[in-house]
Amino acid sequence: MIVVKVELLSAVTGDTTLLNSVVIDNQGGTVKRRNYRCRSYRKHLQPVQAVTERRKALREGQVLDHPSEQVSVLTLLRKSLEAMGY
């Protein structure tokens, strides 16, 4: 499972606010080409908590037939965001 957090670090107060998170998890495929489910969660909801408590995602998508060993994980993140309509 890949977790990407978007946090705001305040220069004024020093506080950290979780703005959004994306969870990408492997759903099968082959060693060279994998399938992923991607989910986006709301502000302030910790991603691990969201997954373990089976909270409803804001958006969901799939990335199919991704060559995970050949490209950067950021490529998977981009594809995931596109699949969710961002």
Mean pLDDT of the chain: 94
**What number is the average pLDDT over the span 4-28?**
95
pTM for the full model?
0.87
Higher pLDDT, 53 or 27: 27
Q: How many CB atoms lie within 10 A of CB 35?
A: 15
Is 90 exceeded by the pLDDT of residue 49? no
Domains held by the chain: number: 1
Neighbours of 29 (CB within 10 A): 14
Mean pLDDT in residue range 18-23: 95
Q: What does the DSSP assignment read for 10-64?
A: -TTT--EEEEEEEEEEEEEE-SSSEEEEEEEE-TT--HHHHHHTTPPPSEEEEEE
Residue 11: give the domain boundaries: 2-83
> For the chain, what is the largest distance between any 2 Cα atoms, rounded to a whole number of angstroms?
48
Mean pLDDT for the stretch of residues 29-42: 94
Question: CB–CB of 42/55 below 8 Å?
Answer: no
**What is the mean predicted confidence (pLDDT) over 7-20?**
94
